[in-house]
């Protein structure tokens, strides 16, 4: 009788055990139970899974965590760096804390302190540490060293616009304009940043020798900001180079137009007058070129390039006396020994030429 009663009890126990195994485990892990304050305003490396886990396991539970984040969010980086530095003594192994401390110092403008804090730290090998050290290197102008660190961060956290931008800056500054273009083309400019993005891309196009494309970009920017003489000048420089390096027939005309606009906005800048002279000279408008070179010399009496081009233009037109008078005028200016010697030799050559011409005409 007892054996008969045991059978249903065993079946009930077995079913209960089976049901328990089939039920999903709803118990949250320790890390899942830790809720951090909003960190969406931090650079993306500090929002990555590894950094968040590091925060939850270390300083994310400290009462000062939220206060430090609030200071960063408010842009009070100096106070934030002081508070983060204090927390680092409590959590020396935290990669997110280390990286954020260096980041706050950089944002506070204290590059020297950031470099001192970061140098030779083992945490530089972490994603957060590498990112912040790249910022330090960039601020120090060591772009060749910063670039691979930014690229490594991109590999780990994805092609996020802010890091792509930083990497593009260092790529361009370290002599890799093609890489800068590649990085810029992967990002979507944030609202209000499209002009800044187009400007860097135009600079990269110009640096990589893609001058016609650079001209179009600079011209587009200049037309949107008509009073910016520098943008007009850069558009002109790109058009001039494109025309000089290829068979772009209209390039010199476009260059002259841009240099004219630059001079219109800043009529006291001799560089724009000289550039206009060069564009007109190469476009065979010698009268216009002469006027522009003279304007450059009026604005800068020791503009040796303008004087040299004008002397060459006049000698090609057999205007020997005009060329000689200009050289005598330049000789009286305070010029470098090298320029003085060039003037002296050029006068000598002109005198020889005039003498031969006089001899031929006399005979």
pLDDT the model gives residue 125: 84
Give every CB contact of residue 260 below 8 A, 6+ residues apart in sequence. Answer: 276
Give every CB contact of residue 240 below 8 A, 6+ residues apart in sequence. Answer: 251, 252, 255, 275, 278, 279, 282
CATH of 39-158, one of 1.10.10, 4.10.240, 1.10.8, 1.25.40: 1.25.40
pTM, rounded to two decimals: 0.83
75: alpha, beta or left? (left if phi > 0; alpha if psi -120 to 50)? left
Output the CA torsion 41→42→47→52 (10° steps): -110
Distances (CA, A) of 229 to 196, 221, 256, 281, 316: 16, 11, 13, 21, 32
pLDDT the model gives residue 188: 83
pLDDT the model gives residue 86: 94
285: alpha, beta or left? (left if phi > 0; alpha if psi -120 to 50)? beta
DSSP E strand boundaries for the chain: none
- Give the span between the Cα atoms of 328 and 342, in whole angstroms: 12
Nearest to 201 by CA among 174, 175, 229, 181: 181
Taking the CA of residue 269 as centre, how many other CA atoms within 13 Å lie in the half-sphere pointing to its CB? 17
pLDDT the model gives residue 11: 47
What string of pLDDT tens digits covers the 363 residues of the chain? Answer: 444 454 454 444 455 555 555 545 555 565 566 678 889 999 999 999 999 999 999 988 888 999 999 999 999 999 999 999 999 999 999 999 999 999 999 999 999 999 999 887 888 888 999 999 999 999 999 999 999 999 999 999 999 999 999 999 999 999 999 999 999 999 987 766 789 999 999 999 999 999 999 999 999 999 999 999 999 999 999 999 999 998 898 999 999 999 999 999 999 999 999 999 999 999 999 999 999 999 999 999 999 999 999 999 999 999 999 999 999 999 999 999 999 999 999 999 999 999 998 888 865
Q: Where are the chain's structural domains? A: 39-158
């Amino acid at each position: 009788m007892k054996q008969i009663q045991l059978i249903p009890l065993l079946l009930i126990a077995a079913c209960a055990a089976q049901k328990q195994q089939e039920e999903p485990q709803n118990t949250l892990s320790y890390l899942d139970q830790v809720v951090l304050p909003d960190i969406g305003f931090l650079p993306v490396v500090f929002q990555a899974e590894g950094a968040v886990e590091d925060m939850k396991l270390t300083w994310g539970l400290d009462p000062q965590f939220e206060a430090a984040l609030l200071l960063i969010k408010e842009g009070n980086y100096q106070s934030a760096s002081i508070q983060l530095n204090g927390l680092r003594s409590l959590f020396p192994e935290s990669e997110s804390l280390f990286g954020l401390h260096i980041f706050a110092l950089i944002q506070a403008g204290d590059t020297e302190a950031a470099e001192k804090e970061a140098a030779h730290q083992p945490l530089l090998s972490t994603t957060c540490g590498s990112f912040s050290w790249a910022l330090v290197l960039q601020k120090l102008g060591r772009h060749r060293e910063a670039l691979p660190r930014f690229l490594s961060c991109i590999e780990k956290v994805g092609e996020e616009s802010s890091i792509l931008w930083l990497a593009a800056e260092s790529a361009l500054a370290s002599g890799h304009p093609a890489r800068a273009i590649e990085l810029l083309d992967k990002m979507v400019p944030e609202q209000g940043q499209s002009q800044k993005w187009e400007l860097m891309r135009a600079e990269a196009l110009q640096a990589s020798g893609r001058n016609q494309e650079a001209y179009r970009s600079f011209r587009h920017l200049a037309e949107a900001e008509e009073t910016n003489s520098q943008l007009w000048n850069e558009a002109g420089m790109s058009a001039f180079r494109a025309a000089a390096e290829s068979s772009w027939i209209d390039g010199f005309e476009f260059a002259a137009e841009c240099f004219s606009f630059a001079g219109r906005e800043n009529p006291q800048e001799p560089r724009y007058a000289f550039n206009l002279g060069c564009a007109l000279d190469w476009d065979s408008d010698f009268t216009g070129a002469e006027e522009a070179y003279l304007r450059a010399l009026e604005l800068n009496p020791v503009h040796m390039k303008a004087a040299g081009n004008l002397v060459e233009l006049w000698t090609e037109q057999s205007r020997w006396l005009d060329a000689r008078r200009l050289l005598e005028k330049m000789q009286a200016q305070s010029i470098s020994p090298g320029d003085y010697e060039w003037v002296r030799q050029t006068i000598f050559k002109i005198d020889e030429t005039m003498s031969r011409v006089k001899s031929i005409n006399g005979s």
